[in-house]
Amino acid sequence: MQLRKNVKKRVSINELCKEDRELYQDIMEEILAIRGITPEDILEMIEERKSKLNLK
């Protein structure tokens, strides 16, 4: 069974080696900064989603 080439696999950060995780983190921080999203915004979104899911 072959996957189609245009189907993108969701990659877990845990699947990456240490160096790739660091690069991934740097890239994500750049993308968020370009779009005006702060780390505080992310933490707020996490809390909102946890609240909706009744998680602590």
Residue type, 52: K
The 10s digit of each residue's pLDDT in 9-32 is: 788 889 999 999 999 999 999 999
Please indicate, yes or no, whether the overall pTM of this predicted structure exceeds 0.75. no
pLDDT(1) > 90: no
CA distances from 19 to 10, 24, 45, 50 (A): 19, 9, 27, 30
| Whole-number percent of the chain with pLDDT over 70 | 86
Going by the DSSP 8-state scheme, the letter that residue 45 receives in this structure is H
What own/partner pairs with CB < 8 Å and gap ≥ 24 does 35-40 have?
Answer: none
